[in-house]
Amino acid sequence: MDDTTPIIDTDVSYYQLRRFSLPSTPSPLSPPSYSSINVHLIEAHPKSLQDTFGRAVTFWPRSMELLSAMGLGHEIEQQCYAVRSSAAFDREGRERTKDGAWGFIEGISDTRYTFASVLRQKYVEEILRRKGEEVGVEVNAPCAFEGLVVDDWVEAGEVGRVVATIRDGRGGGDRMYKVRCRYIIGCDGSRTKVRGAAGIDSEGSRTEDKWVRVDGVLESTTMPKPRSYGAIESPLYGNVLWIPLDHGATRLGYKFDPGLTEREIFIKESELCVQPFKLKWAQVDWGSVYSVGQRVAKTFFAHDAVFLAGDSCHTHSSGAGQGMNAGVNDAANLAWKLALVLTGRAKRRLLDTYNAERQVLAEKLIRYDEGISELVSGRIPKGKQWEKWQGEEDPNVVLGRVLMEAKGFNTGLTLGYQKNPAVWEDEKDTSGEEVLIPAPARPGLRAPDVRVLLPALWESAWLLKLMPNQAHFHILTFVGRGLTAKDMLRSFKEEVEAAIRPTHKAGVDGVNGHINGASHGNSLAPSNNNLPVQFLTILPERVDNGWHELGFDPLGKVYYDQAGAAGERYEIDVEHGTTFIIRPDMWIGARFDLLEQDAGKLISQYLRGLLVC
């Protein structure tokens, strides 16, 4: 099997890679074709076994923004349990109104997802399978990865650079086959075979702690707030986790007693760990005991051919509920980059930014989780990072305070990437600062989601929903309110046209050659293919027509910021205007004030550093 990208075990990446192969304007005369990116997806376990796994359950707000941009948010919203409240109780059953473990869930702001989206992983994977089928991807299961060989004689990015060996167990058989490919993505969990086969080492440790997780439907309980994200402080079982799940279920998590070995016994313990409250299970769907540890791979990209994502490159406890979210961020970061390279629209150097961006955050998550897991187990963590908490007597109180202080990190709303070819710092660079919600609209940080008005209708819309992840960069320009703002926009538009001038009219207004919103996707076009760039212009007032207001075509599609709130959130130059390069994954790549000379040329320089123009 040649020229495919094997993905080992289920991951969002496969859906995105195939989705990015869709033509921008399919029609009955030109049906969708998926031939530009071939994906071979394997899963070691049959679906019947996968569905018995409890695993991760919570998506935090930034993950939902990313999934929504991929076209997956709506289906998750339909099934998830949206948790907007928390509840924490001390060992006497008194509610903590301050410093509760999950208090950061309440009052989430700066996003349309002001809640935790709880949906068990088996339902998430059903959505992924269904969406994958829509773009022509089949999950090959049970098929197990057996090994790989990297051929250094084959140039990086060419077919046959890596050859994967697969054991096919479908239909009760046992045959081996090989896949010759350009790249391979290992998403095969903490016991990853791909990482070992690629010779990638990992660093970390495993503690003596073990935690229990039990999912099921309750018959009854005296817990006062059973549909809140909860914590019950127990002298024997640590900080007991209580999560309201989808489909009327509940999850309990607690510190494992080493003397317990049988499933029935630790399920019984789950009824005891919530004391002084009581509960009774109507049915138990799943239960598991696992060791607590933290490890991170030394690299997430090796041999110019092998990627790691999710638990295959970073493992940690479920104490802060970050596992599935870190995996979503990995996939969102990697898929658009790999898709642009595979379709010949981006330079291979773009792939190096995956490791540069994601490994740093994974290492930060590991350090954070080491302390969280200690606190959940009932101990104050040691080490320089935790010096301020030494001398505190109650680890439950410290846990609540630490989670609250890390609210931006927990929700994903302040996650940032350091300077690299895809992130240009500016004069107000904040990469070395501790970022709080709302994070500044600066390169390396998330593009804020704000409300703007649609043209003609004057209806409100969320800005990030207007910039879906289709492997396109968005040039987002806010027009200023000053007397010369329109002239500056005209000059900026001319600079952009001159700096990134297409060689034929695809994606360009056929009348005057100007970039506008008339063509599908508003894309500039080099000679070989569409340059993956789209334009949006935000006017500072509500008008009847953008052209009539400006006297010329705006850059791309036009929207209105009547009250000025969107511009204020983006910290624009109110008088003259500001433009942003928004990456496909909705992180800000660069920022330029229109007053700045050569802003158009700088945009061209950024794009030409990454794209094949």
In this predicted model, what pLDDT tens digit does every residue of 52-96 receive, in sequence order? 666 899 999 999 999 999 999 999 999 999 999 999 999 999 999
Domain assignment present for 422 = no
- Residue 417 banded pLDDT, cuts 50, 70, 90: very high
Averaged confidence pLDDT in the chain: 88
Q: Quick one: pLDDT at residue 507?
A: 38
Q: In this predicted model, which residue has the larger pLDDT, 255 or 474?
A: 474
Spatial separation of the C-alpha atoms in residues 516 and 234, rounded to whole Å: 62
Task: Provide the residue type at 331 as one letter.
Answer: A
- Range in 310-324, 476-490, 557-571 with the lowest mean pLDDT: 310-324
Q: In this predicted model, which residue has the larger pLDDT, 13 or 463?
A: 463
In the chain, % helix, strand, coil (3-state, to 5) comes to 30, 25, 45
Same domain, 493 and 555: yes
Bridging pattern class, strands 229-234 and 86-89 = parallel
> What's the rounded mean pLDDT across residues 200-215?
89
Q: Is the pLDDT of residue 210 over 90?
A: no
Q: Quick one: pLDDT at residue 560?
A: 98
Spatial separation of the C-alpha atoms in residues 428 and 591, rounded to whole Å: 10
Q: Is the pLDDT of residue 516 over 80?
A: no
- Range in 290-294, 403-407, 487-491 with the lowest mean pLDDT: 290-294
The residues, any chain, with a CB within 8 Å of residue 261's CB and separated by 6 or more, are: none
Domain assignment present for 449 = yes
Q: Is the pLDDT of residue 534 over 70?
A: yes
Q: Quick one: pLDDT at residue 8?
A: 60
Q: In this predicted model, which residue has the larger pLDDT, 5 or 545?
A: 545
- Residue 526 banded pLDDT, cuts 50, 70, 90: very low
Q: Quick one: pLDDT at residue 529?
A: 45
Spatial separation of the C-alpha atoms in residues 24 and 30, rounded to whole Å: 11
- The SS3 call for residue 369 is helix
Same domain, 489 and 382: no
Domain limits for position 377: 363-411
Same domain, 465 and 577: yes
Same domain, 456 and 383: no
Same domain, 478 and 373: no
Query: pLDDT tens-digit profile of 499-515?
Result: 776 543 333 332 233 44
Q: Is the pLDDT of residue 23 over 60?
A: no
Same domain, 392 and 456: no
Which residue reads 């511009």 in tokens? 567
Looking at 388, 411, 434, which one is the last position of a domain?
Answer: 411
Give me the helix-helix angle, 12-19 and 323-342, nearest 10°: 30
Phi–psi pair at 50, nearest 5 degrees: -60, -40
Query: pLDDT tens-digit profile of 433-456?
Result: 567 889 999 999 999 999 999 999
Token digits of residue 264 = 């029935």
- Range in 225-239, 349-363, 375-389, 399-413 with the lowest mean pLDDT: 375-389
Looking at 411, 436, 468, which one is the last position of a domain?
Answer: 411
- Residue 127 banded pLDDT, cuts 50, 70, 90: very high
- Residue 50 banded pLDDT, cuts 50, 70, 90: low
The residues, any chain, with a CB within 8 Å of residue 149's CB and separated by 6 or more, are: 162, 163
Q: In this predicted model, which residue has the larger pLDDT, 137 or 146?
A: 146
- Residue 556 banded pLDDT, cuts 50, 70, 90: very high
- Range in 239-243, 298-302, 324-328, 377-381 with the lowest mean pLDDT: 377-381
Q: Quick one: pLDDT at residue 552?
A: 94
Domain assignment present for 554 = yes
- Range in 48-57, 256-265, 280-289 with the lowest mean pLDDT: 256-265
Same domain, 496 and 551: yes
| pLDDT winner (highest mean) among 7-11, 156-160, 423-427 | 156-160
Q: Quick one: pLDDT at residue 9?
A: 61
Token digits of residue 352 = 């190096």
CATH number for the domain harbouring residue 449: 3.40.30.10
Query: How many angstroms separate the Cα of 524 from the Cα of each of 218, 494, 546?
Result: 57, 14, 20
- b (16+ CB within 10 A) / e for 272-296: ebbbebebebeeebbbeeeebbbbb
Q: Quick one: pLDDT at residue 528?
A: 37
Same domain, 454 and 603: yes
**Number of other residues whose CB lies within 10 A of the CB of residue 515:** 26
Q: Quick one: pLDDT at residue 82?
A: 99
Could you say which DSSP state residue 448 is in?
A: P
Could you say which DSSP state residue 254 is in?
A: E
Spatial separation of the C-alpha atoms in residues 506 and 44, rounded to whole Å: 44
Domain assignment present for 205 = no
> What's the rounded mean pLDDT across residues 7-36?
60
- Residue 401 banded pLDDT, cuts 50, 70, 90: very high
> What's the rounded mean pLDDT across residues 354-358?
98
Spatial separation of the C-alpha atoms in residues 8 and 434, rounded to whole Å: 36
Spatial separation of the C-alpha atoms in residues 178 and 168, rounded to whole Å: 10
**Domain total for the chain?**
2
Domain assignment present for 572 = yes
460 and 566 Cβ atoms separated by less than 8 Å: no
Q: Is the pLDDT of residue 33 over 50?
A: no
Closest CA to 441 of 592, 564, 569: 569
- Range in 232-246, 300-314, 358-372, 382-396 with the lowest mean pLDDT: 382-396
- The SS3 call for residue 192 is coil
Phi–psi pair at 15, nearest 5 degrees: -65, -45
- b (16+ CB within 10 A) / e for 397-406: bbbbbbbbeb
- The SS3 call for residue 24 is coil
Which residue reads 């001159």 in tokens? 498
- Residue 484 banded pLDDT, cuts 50, 70, 90: very high
> What's the rounded mean pLDDT across residues 278-302?
92
Same domain, 372 and 467: no
Domain assignment present for 353 = no
Same domain, 497 and 554: yes
Q: Is the pLDDT of residue 365 over 80?
A: yes
Could you say which DSSP state residue 128 is in?
A: H
Q: Quick one: pLDDT at residue 392?
A: 72
- The percentage of the chain sitting over the pLDDT mark of 70, rounded to a whole number, equals 87
Bridging pattern class, strands 577-582 and 473-479 = antiparallel
Spatial separation of the C-alpha atoms in residues 535 and 265, rounded to whole Å: 60
Same domain, 567 and 450: yes
> What's the rounded mean pLDDT across residues 562-572?
96
Spatial separation of the C-alpha atoms in residues 129 and 132, rounded to whole Å: 5
Same domain, 379 and 496: no
Domain assignment present for 285 = no
